[in-house]
Amino acid sequence: MKKRSQSAPLRLLFTLILNSSLFSGSETLAEIVGVWEDKAPLPTARQEVGVAVLNDLLYVVGGIDSTPAVVDTVERYDPDSKQWETVAPLPADLDHVAVV
């Protein structure tokens, strides 16, 4: 099993924070410094989201979609499979939320 860099999820988290305006995808810093690499697009385009890393998986929660409406959406990104998955929604619509 190939060991993933411990900083990979943090780099992705940092990138998502910087790109927190309406976006449908994300980018991470490639292994070669100064080169950006496209990753799987976020299934639900939204802004003002909460973002956290748990067990090497990136979670994007809540936010405001393009209608604009506050949403309860939670999506999880797996850097190994390079895929997003929609998971159980928040108990309420939230935006500008801190996630730990």
pLDDT in tens, 7-29: 666 666 666 555 544 444 555 55
* pTM recorded for the entire structure: 0.67
Average pLDDT, integer, range 28-38: 61
Q: Which residues pair with 53 in a beta bridge?
A: 58
Pairing of strands 74-78, 27-29: unpaired
Residues 6+ away with beta carbon under 8 Å from 61: 49, 50, 51, 52, 73, 74, 75, 90, 94, 97, 99
pLDDT in tens, 37-86: 778 999 999 999 999 999 999 999 999 999 999 999 999 999 999 999 99
Residues 6+ away with beta carbon under 8 Å from 53: 9, 10, 12, 13, 59
